Chains A and B, each alone.
Chain A
Amino acid sequence: MENFVSLLNGFQVALAPENIGVCLLGAVLGLVVGAMPGIGSLAGCALLLPLTYKFNPTTAIIMLGALYYSNMYGGSFSAILLNIPGDSPAITTALDGYPMARKGRPGQALMAANVASFLGGTIGILILTLTASGLATLGLKFGYAEMTLILLIAMTSISWLIGENPIKGIVITMLGILVASIGMDTLSGAPRYEFGNMYLLGGIPFTPFIIGCVGFAQVIKLINEREADEKKRSSEDSKTKLSIRESMLTAHDFKRILPPIIRSGVMGTFVGVLPGSGATTGSMVGYAMQKKFKSEEPMGTGAIEGIAASEAANNAAAAGAFAPLLALGIPGSGTGAVLLGGLMMWGLNPGPLLFDSNPEFCWGLISSMYMANIFTLAVAILVIPFLIKILSVPVKYMIPIITCVCIVGAYSTSNSMYGVIVMFISGIVGYLLDKNGFPTAPMLLAFVLAPMLEKNMRKAFIASQGSLRIFVDSPLKLVLLAVFLVLVLTPVVKSIRRKLRAKKAQA
């Protein structure tokens, strides 16, 4: 009950004209960016982060939240119409969305995706409303040692989940932490690893680093997708004409999509809450779960249930990811890390105290998500007739545009060419890492979380006068330590078992 009163207060903040305006703007921009194949929510949020600097923190994060959220809607458009997922969570949507479009029902496939996104997202936001402040209250009981263990779990889980190689996950996570330690010591403020360079004294600027690692690295990769993009666009399927009336779902369609939406909505939210999972894992889990239930058409051949399960799960996960971000200061995904970095730049420290110190911000953001959900659904339905035009911007024309946005954005956030150079170098490094199978998302997460981890770990050691006992002296710490060890050891055990099985098979 208390949560709903706070939510109503949050609506007072969210319904300010400026906040409604940016929420709508975020919804539109997110849809467009999400619909553009190859950009994705992570790059989209990173590229549009500079636009929010003009606003106060609440307004800025409302815009970013709406942008992230509507991105999930947009990703399904190109997946359904062109078989090119706009973002990784839409990969599973394409499995049934594109076949359904080829069966002559592209409008209904889009509408099913929109409705599922809306209802799945609503389930996610409702669960977020009910649980976020409780999670923050629990977080208040955490000391330095507990926070250290939780941050270690967050970093470890994302390293394992993204990418198949745990060693590469560790390498990339450690690299992210070291990059973050350049500049000043988090406790004493003394210069550290600045190598005599006055620019490095201020550390590696967050936004140019993110824009480079994600945005510019993505542009370099996009160049190879030009030909495939051209081929797909030249097919007849991409020249379909759509109207809202023809896209309406029948009562029978609703009956088919409702159960998977509810199931995947709930499941997706809990997946989103887990550190390191995010919307992509959410949509995959939702789709996999739907396979175990009966569908009218076989999954993968244009089953509307498949679209509903995937879209409901990814939007629910996107909402669920806000719970650990706001309550514990732990982002659930790379995009969450960008949002967290943005919050820190505006002087807000997400964590257990945020709900007490800035309730108007937290509840304003949560209530704005309800608004963003409604706005995005409305915009997503209204743009259906114009989708073909939005999607007809070829990838080859996007390359110089995004390159310039990266450069201009990096300059505007640092007001110096140093930011542009950081963006350029981190873009090349990000591209090389990705090309060699090192996922960059764990590096971004580690970069954002490293100062918090160092501060908590060092304070824990100072409090215990250097004793390691501080990490094992309570049942909660032991549980957290056990979870951390399981996360560290599971991939190692899996790898050994795989090798043993391969040896047996050879013998």
Chain B
Amino acid sequence: MENKKKGFNLRSIIPLATAIVALVFIVVGLKDYGFWNKNQPTPGFFPIIIAVVLLASSIACFIQIARDKDSEDVKYNRNELMVMLGAAGIILCTFLIGLVPSCLIYIFLWLKFVEHAPWKVILIIEVIMAAIILGVFTAWLQIRFPVGLLGDLIF
């Protein structure tokens, strides 16, 4: 997933995104919340000023990146995407089987198939995590974690 320096530079995405965010805040602010009314600042006053500064600095940053030919390209790693997909998987599975089982299944799958950890290690980590989630969060902090569709059907 290495980005090439030909054409559009991937490093420019951040200033572009922040410039878009700034524009949205300026337009919505001016349209819905105003800037100044009867010698007093309105709710839009502060965010609009900040958004204008953000827009200007984003443009400056974009130009800086476009001119900079010497710095190394940002390298993305497939494994980083796997961590994100893993967390996204837990969130999606929570709606089906609940948060606690999703976390424990994720830990098992990650350790077994990504890290190829021995069974003993997997078992120890599963027990520790179950103790932390159920002991600290559920029993001590009294957090009621979502049980998902399956939990709703069973209970």
Identify the A interface with B (CB < 8 A).
Answer: 50-51, 53-54, 165, 167-168, 170-171, 174-175, 177-178, 181, 185, 187-188, 190, 192-193, 195, 216, 219-221, 223-224, 396-397, 399-401, 403-408, 411-412, 415, 417, 420-421, 424, 427-428, 431-433, 435-436, 438, 453-454, 457-458, 461-462, 465-466
Output the least CB separation between B38 and chain A (Å).
9
Q: What are the residues of chain B within 8 A of A174 when measuring CB–CB? A: 18, 22, 50-51, 53-54, 57
A377 to B129, CA, bound (A): 28
Please tell me which one of the listed residues B74, B103, B133, B136 contacts residue A435 in the complex, with CB atoms under 8 A apart.
Answer: B74
List residues of B (1-38) whose CB comes within 8 Å of A's CBs.
11, 13-15, 18, 21-22, 25, 28-29, 33, 36
Output the least CB separation between B102 and chain A (Å).
8
With A400-B107, A417-B146: A224-B43 Cβ-Cβ less than 8 Å: no
Please tell me which one of the listed residues B46, B110, B136 contacts residue A181 in the complex, with CB atoms under 8 A apart.
Answer: B46
Residues B83 and A411 in contact, CB atoms below 8 Å apart: no
On chain B, the number of residues with a Cβ less than 8 Å from chain A's Cβ atoms is 66
Residues B110 and A399 in contact, CB atoms below 8 Å apart: yes
Residues A403 and B87 in contact, CB atoms below 8 Å apart: yes
Residue of A nearest to B63 (CB): A167
Please tell me which one of the listed residues B21, B33, B99, B137 contacts residue A178 in the complex, with CB atoms under 8 A apart.
Answer: B21
Q: Mark B52-73, 1 if CB is under 8 A from A, else 0.
A: 0110011011001000000000
Please tell me which one of the listed residues B40, B47, B88, B128 contacts residue A424 in the complex, with CB atoms under 8 A apart.
Answer: B88
A193 to B31, CA, bound (A): 11
Output the least CB separation between A460 and chain B (Å).
10
Q: What are the residues of chain B within 8 A of A454 when measuring CB–CB? A: 46
Output the least CB separation between A10 and chain B (Å).
27
Q: Mark B125-139, 1 if CB is under 8 A from A, else 0.
A: 100110011001100
Q: What are the residues of chain A within 8 A of B25 when measuring CB–CB? A: 178, 181, 193
Q: What are the residues of chain A within 8 A of B46 when measuring CB–CB? A: 181, 453-454, 457-458
With A400-B111, A407-B99, A435-B76: A175-B18 Cβ-Cβ less than 8 Å: yes
Residues B90 and A404 in contact, CB atoms below 8 Å apart: yes
Q: What are the residues of chain A within 8 A of B44 when measuring CB–CB? A: 192
Q: What are the residues of chain B within 8 A of A192 when measuring CB–CB? A: 33, 43-44, 47
Residues B141 and A397 in contact, CB atoms below 8 Å apart: no
Residues B136 and A178 in contact, CB atoms below 8 Å apart: no
Residue of A nearest to B51 (CB): A178
Tell whether B123 is near chain A: CB-to-CB under 8 Å: no
Q: What are the residues of chain B within 8 A of A420 when measuring CB–CB? A: 91, 94
Residues A436 and B107 in contact, CB atoms below 8 Å apart: no
Q: What are the residues of chain A within 8 A of B84 when measuring CB–CB? A: 220, 427-428
With A167-B61, A404-B107, A408-B133: A417-B91 Cβ-Cβ less than 8 Å: yes
Residues A466 and B91 in contact, CB atoms below 8 Å apart: no
Output the least CB separation between B15 and chain A (Å).
7
Query: Could you give 19 example pairs across A and B, Cβ below 8 Å?
Result: A167-B61, A167-B64, A171-B61, A174-B18, A181-B47, A195-B28, A219-B83, A396-B115, A403-B83, A404-B129, A406-B87, A407-B91, A408-B103, A411-B145, A424-B88, A431-B80, A432-B14, A454-B46, A466-B41
For the residues of B in contact with A, the DSSP-based class is: helix
Identify the B interface with A (CB < 8 A).
Answer: 11, 13-15, 18, 21-22, 25, 28-29, 33, 36, 39-41, 43-47, 50-51, 53-54, 57-58, 60-61, 64, 74, 76-77, 79-80, 82-84, 86-88, 90-91, 94-95, 99, 103, 106-107, 110-111, 115, 117, 121, 125, 128-129, 132-133, 136-137, 140-141, 143-146
Residues A224 and B87 in contact, CB atoms below 8 Å apart: no
Residues A193 and B106 in contact, CB atoms below 8 Å apart: no
Q: What are the residues of chain B within 8 A of A424 when measuring CB–CB? A: 87-88, 91
Residues B87 and A407 in contact, CB atoms below 8 Å apart: yes
Please tell me which one of the listed residues A53, A190, A462 contacts residue B141 in the complex, with CB atoms under 8 A apart.
Answer: A53
Q: What are the residues of chain B within 8 A of A406 when measuring CB–CB? A: 87
Output the least CB separation between B144 and chain A (Å).
8
Residues A412 and B143 in contact, CB atoms below 8 Å apart: yes
Q: What are the residues of chain A within 8 A of B90 when measuring CB–CB? A: 403-404, 407
Residue of B nearest to A219 (CB): B83
Residues B79 and A404 in contact, CB atoms below 8 Å apart: no
Residues B143 and A400 in contact, CB atoms below 8 Å apart: no
Q: What are the residues of chain B within 8 A of A51 when measuring CB–CB? A: 136, 141
Residues B137 and A408 in contact, CB atoms below 8 Å apart: yes
A261 to B107, CA, bound (A): 44
Q: What are the residues of chain A within 8 A of B29 when measuring CB–CB? A: 193
Q: What are the residues of chain B within 8 A of A436 when measuring CB–CB? A: 11, 13-14, 74
A427 to B64, CA, bound (A): 26
A129 to B16, CA, bound (A): 47
Q: What are the residues of chain B within 8 A of A407 when measuring CB–CB? A: 87, 90-91, 99, 103
Residue of A nearest to B136 (CB): A51
Output the least CB separation between B55 and chain A (Å).
9
Output the least CB separation between B12 and chain A (Å).
9
Q: What are the residues of chain B within 8 A of A453 when measuring CB–CB? A: 46
